[in-house]
Amino acid sequence: MGVGRLGSALGRALHAAGHTIAALADASGGAEALGRELGAGTAVVHTEGVPERAQLVFLAVPDGVIAELAQELQVSAGQALVHTSGALGLDALAPARARGAVVGAFHPLQSFPVGAGAERFAGITIGLEAEGELASTLRKLCAGLGARWLSLHGVDRARYHTAAVFASNYVVALHAAATRVWELAGLPGGEARAALSPLTLGAAASIADRPLADALTGPVARGDVATVEGHLAALACDLESLQLYRSLGRELLLLGLPHDAAARARLSLLFADEGG
């Protein structure tokens, strides 16, 4: 249920892996188009009709409506109800569990643009939490999608999801800040994304391949104090960017970079809240 970017991508990916998508439902009306894409075996139904057609139901919906749907859906004993939230645990599905359903969580650590499909699942990690045989079923689904699985049992879900937000959503925030500083330099803002996004792609590729300290490049990695001082002076007119630069610089110093004592002390002072 739910055919937003994640729900649509998951439906396409499961279909491509040979699974039958028995039914789709979505309040926005987008299920009709996805149903046509997935073929004649997929029925588009109202929300209440989904449990009648599927033994395993995914709730790929906003977090705020998961508990409501768990209350409303007439799942029966032995049926499985799985949400795709990163922030919520299984308690959100407690009403369905009380009626005998087996419940679980299936959270892909990935971003999903419009139109994404099976290719977005290859090589990613999917956070799982499930009961009984459902745990084995979800692990097999991960393998069929070409993904790894990670157990979320006993994990602080708010902190887990916050880590994912830092690694994905806040990269967009960093590009917003980078674009602002780019424009302050006298460059056209419309060119910032094309010019700067390859830097992000390159950094992400390095992070995937090597330890963080080894993936880092640039003045902080080199211990180039004079360049950092120049950056801070340039940002004096933009306090928000200045504070962000210092905060991120402090985070980099926690990586244990191989600076000499003098460079480390000076960088620590420059990145302090008041700039030293």
Indicate whether 202 and 117 sit together in one domain: no
pLDDT range class, residue 276, cuts 50, 70, 90: very low
Residue 89, in any domain of the structure:
yes
Indicate whether 62 and 42 sit together in one domain: yes
CB 55 within 8 A of CB 76: no
Indicate whether 210 and 85 sit together in one domain: no
Q: Which of 111, 138, 156 is the last residue of a domain?
A: 156
Q: State the pLDDT at residue 39.
A: 87
Average pLDDT, the chain: 95
pLDDT range class, residue 113, cuts 50, 70, 90: very high
Q: State the pLDDT at residue 23.
A: 93
Task: For residue 104, give every residue at least 6 positions away whose Cβ sits within 8 Å of its Cβ, in sequence order, or none.
Answer: 80, 81, 82, 83, 90, 128, 129, 130, 131, 134, 135, 138
For residue 91, the 8-state DSSP code is: G
Residue 276, in any domain of the structure:
no
Indicate whether 113 and 239 sit together in one domain: no
Residue 240, in any domain of the structure:
yes
Indicate whether 147 and 174 sit together in one domain: no
- pLDDT, average across residues 1-16: 94
Indicate whether 82 and 128 sit together in one domain: yes
Indicate whether 14 and 94 sit together in one domain: yes
Indicate whether 200 and 142 sit together in one domain: no
Please say whether the dihedral angle defined by the alpha carbons of residues 271, 273, 275 and 276, taken in this order, is positive or negative.
negative
| Torsion angle defined by CA atoms of residues 199, 203, 209 and 214, in that order, rounded to the nearest 10 degrees | 120
Q: φ, ψ for residue 174 (rounded to 5)? A: -65, -35
Name the domain count of the chain. 2
Q: State the pLDDT at residue 28.
A: 74
Q: Is the pLDDT of residue 89 over 80?
A: yes
Indicate whether 57 and 128 sit together in one domain: yes
Residue 20, in any domain of the structure:
yes
60-77 pLDDT per residue, tens: 999 999 999 999 999 999
Residue 24, in any domain of the structure:
yes
Q: CATH number of the domain that 73 lies in?
A: 3.40.50.720
Domain hosting residue 254, numbered range = 166-271
- pLDDT, average across residues 2-26: 94
Residue 254, in any domain of the structure:
yes
Indicate whether 25 and 68 sit together in one domain: yes
Q: Which of 98, 124, 156 is the last residue of a domain?
A: 156
Segments in the chain forming alpha helices (H) = 5-16, 31-38, 50-53, 63-72, 94-98, 133-144, 157-167, 169-184, 192-209, 212-215, 219-222, 225-234, 239-253, 261-271
Q: CATH number of the domain that 179 lies in?
A: 1.10.1040
Indicate whether 145 and 198 sit together in one domain: no
For residue 255, the 8-state DSSP code is: T
119-173 pLDDT per residue, tens: 999 999 999 999 789 999 999 999 999 999 999 999 999 999 999 999 999 999 9
Q: Which of 156, 187, 202 is the last residue of a domain?
A: 156
Q: State the pLDDT at residue 1.
A: 78
245-275 pLDDT per residue, tens: 999 999 999 999 999 999 999 999 999 986 4
Indicate whether 266 and 217 sit together in one domain: yes
Residue 9, in any domain of the structure:
yes
Q: Is the pLDDT of residue 207 over 90?
A: yes
- Residue 116's CB is within 10 A of a number of other CB atoms, namely 18
Residue 242, in any domain of the structure:
yes
- pLDDT, average across residues 204-228: 97
